[in-house]
Chain A
Amino acid sequence: MAIYTKEEARKILEKALSFSSADACEINMGGSESGNIRYARNTVSTAGHQSNQTLAVTSSFGKKSGVATIDEFDDTSLEKVVKRAEELANLSPENPEFMAPLGPQTYAESNSFIEATANIKPEYRAQVAAKSIEPASAKDVTAAGFLNDSSGFSAMINSNGLFAYNKSTNVDFTVTMRTNDGTGSGWVTRDFNDITKFDADKAAKIAIDKAVMSREAKAIEPGKYTVILEPAAAADLLGNMAGSFDARTADEGRSFMSKDGGTKMGMKIVDERVNIWSDPLHPDVPTSTWNGEGMPLKKMSWIENGVVKNLAYSRYWAEQKGVDPVPFPSNFIMEGGSASLDELIKGTKKGILVTRLWYIRSVDPQTLLYTGLTRDGTFYIENGEIKYPVKNFRFNESPIIMLNNLEELGQQVRIDGNLVPYMKVRDFTFTSLSDAV
C-alpha cells in the first residue's frame, strides 16, 4: 500500500530532513494506487493496476539548487537521496529566479479523500462495465467506456518549518455509445471524489439515449447559431482560458491579458453575469488545500461580474512586482442559474444543443481563438423542442466572445473536478461541417 498516513509521512520526511546540511532543503513525497477498466465493442479490452511512491529532495546552497528522487524510504536510502541532491546543487548554475522555501503555513483541512473510493476492487470495475454493455446490447448499441479510480497522498516538509499533508481519491468515468448502424453516437462523463455518488446505470442510459436520438443526422449550413452548451462542452473552452491568467506573460505583453504595457486586471472582459472562482473546500469539487511548493490554496475570485479580479503570480514574479503571490487554482467554479437543460431548451426559439466539443486547439493566442468540433450528440432546437439531430460542426470561436454573447446560465454540473453551468450563447461560430459520427 503506497498510501501513508499523516504521521507516517511526517516521520519519514523529518528523518530525511535530519540528513540535510544545505542552506535550504525541501522534500516532497507522494504515493498512489490506481485501477482501471477499459471496454469496447461491448466487451472488456484492457484493464490494469498501477502502484507508485516517490520522494524528491530539493537542496539549495545560495541560489544553486539540486533535486534528487528515490522510491525507497529506509534511513539509508533517505540519507543517500539527500546527499545526492546536495552534490547536484553544488554542481548547478545559479538560478537568478531562485526563491527560498516558504516558512510554516496554515492550511484548511481538505475533504478530498473518501474511503469507499480507495476500496474499489476489480470486480466492481467489471460490474460498472457490465452496466454499460448489457443495456447497450439490448438497444442495438455498442459501448466503449473507461473507469479509472485512484487514491493517493502527498506530503512535504522544508528547512523553514513548513509541513503539509493531503490525501485524495478520484474516480473518472466516460462511456461512448454508438448505434450499430454507425449513424448515432452518444457520450457521458462523470467524475467524483466519492464513488458512492456514481450511478453507472443512469450514466449509461443518458449515453444510449443520445446515441439513439442522434441517428441519421441532417446537414445544416454552418454559420453563427445560438447554442446550448452542455457543461462538458463549455468546460473545455473555459479550461483553455486558464493559461491566460498568468500575470507574468500578461505583463510581458504576450498574452490575451496584456493591455497597454500592463494587464487587464480590473477590466470588464465578459458579460457581467460571469462569475468564476476557485475553492478547494467546495463540497462538490474538493481538492488539496496546498500546492506543490506549499502555498495555501484558498477561495479566490478570478472573474467577478465580468471583471478580471485576479491573475496568478508566481512567488518570483510577485516579488518583482511588489504584490502578494497568487497560486494557480486547483479547480474552477462558474456560477450558474436555476434552469435545467429542459428549461433552457424550452426557452429557445432556434438553436443547437451541443453535448461536447472535441480536439480543441489554439488558433490565435492573441484573441484566445480556438478551433475544434462538436461530437456525440448535436441537435437542432426549434420553438422550445429538439427537432432533429444535426451533423457535427467545426467551430472557430474564442471563449471571450462566447462569454460576451451569453444569453442564459443553467444549473451547474461537476466536470473534470470543476463546476460548470449549462450555458446558452448567441452567435457561436461554426465554420464547416463534418461527416464524423
Chain B
Amino acid sequence: MERRKFVQLTGLGAGALFLPMQFMGKDIPVEALLEPGMDVAIKKQLADIALNTARSLGASYADARIGRYLNQYVFTREDKVQNVVNTESFGIGVRVIANGTWGFASTNDVTEAGIKKATDQAVAIAKANSLIQKDPVKLAPVESYGEVSWKTPIKKDFKEVPVSEKVELLLSANAAAMNNGANFVNSALFMVNEQKYFASTEGSYIDQDIHRIWPTFGVTAIDREAGKFKSRSAMSAPMGMGYEYMDGLESEKLEGPAGLKLYRNSYDMVEDATIAAKQAKEMLTAKSVEPGKYDLVLEPNHLGLTIHESVGHPLELDRVLGYEANYAGTSFATLDKWKSGDFKYGSDVVNLVADKVQPGSLGAVGYDDEGVKTKQWDLVRNGVLKNYQAIRDQVHMIGQDESHGCCYAQSWNDVQFQRMPNVSLEPGKEKYSYKDMIKDVKKGIYIAGRGSYSIDQQRYNFQFGGTVFYEIKDGEIVGMLDDVAYQSNTQEFWNSCVKICDESDYRMFGSFFDGKGQPSQVSAVSHGSSTARFNDVNVINTGRTV
C-alpha cells in the first residue's frame, strides 16, 4: 500500500477524522469564497490553448479541466470554535492520447505558458509510455455538446451564509449534547463547491457548479470508574445540497425504534445531538451481544455503506478488468458471471440501480469529467447481475458503445478515471414500514448508522459494525446491544434479503471520502435505500479485554 498521506484534522470523538491531503486546498479569507471565478469565455480560451497545443504535438485526443474548488470547514468542540477553514484550489489538468497512450499533467500556473508546458509534459509522458503500451486506448463515441452548463439545484448557497450562523448551530448542537450527559462532543460542517470547466477535442465546453454539504459530530460518554468510553456519531448524511439541508424540516424526519430520529433531505442537528448523548450513555451499560445467527433489520444510513462496499465497488468495471489490482483490488463479479445472464447477485426482491442524476445525491452532475451526459442504469434487476459501471475507454470491453458517464477526478490536479456513481437499492413495491420488518422477527438486531467496515479485495467477505444496535425478540425491540458486528459473503448476504420497506422510508446514505486509484483520490457518492431485512446473518462479538 502506498504511504498514507493523511492530515489529521480536529478529532471527531475518539475516532479521529482523517482527511486525505488532496481534499485540502489553500486557505483563503471567507469573503473570497464569494468572488466570482474566471469568466467562462476566458476559460474557453485557456482550454483551447491546451487542446490546440496537444493537437500540434500529435495528440489524437485531448481534454482540459479548469477547476476552482472552494471549501469551507467549521470545527468545534464543546463550547469552543476550533477552526474555520476556507480554502481555494485553482488550476488546470490536461489529459491527452498520443500514440494510443494516455498522458496527463496539471499545473496551477493557469497562463498560456503554464498550460503549454503542462500539455507538453502530458504528451511527453504519453509518448514515453507508448513504448510499453500493448492495447491502444479506444474511446466510446460521445456527443459533441457545444457550450453547455449545469448547476446543483440548491436553495441556499453555503458561501452566502455567515460563518457566525454556522458556528452558532454547531455550538447549539454541542450544548444539547453536553446538557444531555455527554462528556465530550466534536462537531464539524464540511461545505464544498466545485466549479469545473471541461473542454475536449470532441467539441464540448461544459461549465458546472456543484455543491455538497456534510454536517457531522461525535459524542462521547465516559464511565471513568469502569474505565470505559463510548461514542455515537451523527445520523446525518453528506448530501449534494446547499445549506438548506441544515433546516431540520419536520416533514423530512422519520421515526425509528426506541426514540430514534432519522433524517431524509433535511437534518436537525440539535435534535440528533440530544438523542446521541443519551444513546452514548446508554451504550456504556448496553448488553454485550451473544454471537450467533440473527435476522438483521438494516436502516438506510447503515445499509448504504454495505451497498457501497458489496455492490458499488465489485461492479466497477475497471476493478473487474484488473486495472485496480494493485490497490483497491479486483472483483468476484467477473465477466463470465455477467455474461451467463443468470448470475444471482441477490434474491428476487433485490433491484440495484446506478445513477449520476438523483436529486440531492452526492453523485449528481450534468456531465461527467470526460464530457459524457449523465444517466441512470440497472446493475441488478430481480436479483440478476445486469451491468457494470464503465467509462469511455473501457466500455467497449463489455461490448457496449456508450459510456455510463461516471468518470471523475477529485481536482484539476488529478487525472480522471472511473468512479462509483450513486448505487442504490430500489424500495420495495409492497407497503412496508420498518415496523413490518421487525414484527415477525424472532431473534434479530436492528442496526442504524455507519460503523466499522472492512471487505476483502475481491469483495466476497465483509464485516460491518454500526452506530446503534437494538435487540429484536419475538417481533419487539427489547433493548440496546453492544459489541455487534456482522460477517457475511456478498452473494450470500444479498440473497438473504427477504423484505424491503416501500419508498416512504427511502433515504440516502453518503460518503465524502470514497478512496480509489494511485495516486489515491477521493470521491463523494450517495447510496439510497429503504430499511431492509436480511435473514440468518452471522453476528460476532467484538468485545475484548486488554
Contacts and interface: CB of A to CB of B under 8 A. Distances in A.
Interface string A250-287: 00111110111100000000000000000000000000
Contacts of B413: 50, 52
Contact of A252 (B184, B322, B543): B184
Interface stretch (A89-97, A161-169, A295-303): A89-97
Interface stretch (B8-16, B240-248, B260-268, B502-510): B8-16
Interface string B132-169: 11110000000000000000000000000000000100
B489 A435 contact: yes
Interface in A18-46: 35-46
Interface string A47-67: 111111110100000000011
Nearest to B7: A292
B251 to A, nearest CB: 34
A375 B456 contact: yes
Nearest to A134: B132
A318 interface: no
A253 B88 CA distance: 37
A359 B102 CA distance: 30
A375 B88 CA distance: 39
B56 interface: no
A339 interface: no
A435 B11 contact: no
Given A48-B125, A359-B455, A372-B454, A95 B463 contact: no
A392 B456 CA distance: 9
Interface in B385-435: 413-415, 417
B259 interface: no
B102 A45 contact: yes
A293 interface: no
Contact of A44 (B132, B518, B538): B132
Interface residues of B, number: 96
B131 A126 contact: yes
B2 interface: yes
Contacts of A97: 80, 82
Contacts of A175: 326
B101 interface: yes
B485 A436 contact: no
B332 interface: yes
B175 interface: no
A144 B489 CA distance: 26
A426 B91 CA distance: 52
A178 B323 CA distance: 12
Contact of B452 (A45, A54, A358, A361): A361
Interface in B82-131: 82-85, 87-88, 91, 101-109, 118, 121-122, 124-126, 128-129, 131
Contacts of A203: none
B310 to A, nearest CB: 13
Nearest to A392: B456
B445 to A, nearest CB: 16
A364 B542 contact: yes
Interface string A394-427: 1010101100000000000000110000000000
A71 B108 contact: yes
B229 interface: yes
B106 to A, nearest CB: 6
A357 to B, nearest CB: 9
B417 to A, nearest CB: 7
B26 A373 contact: no
A396 B415 contact: no
Contact of A364 (B122, B454, B543): B543
Contacts of A417: 3
B179 to A, nearest CB: 19
In the complex, which of the residues B224, B322, B543 has the most CB atoms of chain A within 10 Å of its own CB atom?
B322
Contacts of B227: 258-260
A174 B326 contact: yes
Interface in B17-64: 26-30, 32
Interface string A351-375: 0000010111111111111011101
B461 A394 contact: yes
B238 to A, nearest CB: 19
Nearest to B136: A43
B475 to A, nearest CB: 30
Nearest to B87: A69
B498 interface: no
A236 interface: yes
B327 interface: yes
A129 interface: yes
B546 A368 contact: yes
A249 interface: yes
Given A255-B14, A363-B452, A436-B461, A146 B543 contact: no
A37 B132 CA distance: 12
Contact of A435 (B101, B229, B332): B332
B513 interface: no
Contacts of A122: 124-125, 128-129
Contacts of B101: 44
A230 interface: no
Contacts of B483: 364
Interface in B503-546: 518-519, 538, 540, 542-546
A55 B415 CA distance: 24
A68 B62 CA distance: 34
B414 to A, nearest CB: 8
Given A95-B82, A254-B14, A436-B458, A49 B2 contact: no
A122 B106 CA distance: 15
Nearest to A122: B128
A187 B240 CA distance: 38
A360 B324 contact: no
A383 to B, nearest CB: 30
A160 interface: no
B72 interface: no
B183 interface: yes
Contact of B2 (A87, A174, A392, A432): A174
Given A394-B463, A400-B546, A148 B106 contact: no
A431 interface: yes
Given A50-B413, A401-B546, A40 B324 contact: yes
A226 interface: no
B27 A126 contact: no
A41 B82 contact: no
B173 to A, nearest CB: 17
Q: Give the one of B83, B102, B461, B538 with max A CB within 10 A.
A: B461
A50 B106 contact: yes
A433 interface: yes
A46 B415 contact: yes
Given A359-B455, A361-B453, A362-B452, A44 B105 contact: no
Contacts of B87: 69
Contacts of A56: 26-27
A366 B365 CA distance: 41
Nearest to B545: A367
B540 A396 contact: yes
B485 A363 contact: yes
In this complex, the member of A71, A363, A392 whose beta carbon has the largest number of chain B beta carbons within 10 angstroms is A363
A237 interface: no
B477 interface: no
A252 B222 CA distance: 9
Nearest to A45: B323
A133 interface: yes
Contacts of B332: 435-436
A123 B128 contact: yes
8 contacts: A42-B134, A51-B106, A67-B27, A91-B29, A174-B326, A258-B229, A401-B546, A432-B461
Return the 6 tightest CB-CB contacts between A and B, nearest first.
A69-B26, A434-B461, A144-B325, A436-B458, A436-B456, A122-B128
Given A43-B132, A97-B82, A146-B2, 17 more contacts: A43-B134, A45-B323, A47-B125, A48-B104, A49-B105, A51-B118, A52-B413, A68-B27, A71-B26, A84-B32, A175-B326, A178-B325, A258-B227, A394-B461, A433-B461, A436-B332, A436-B458
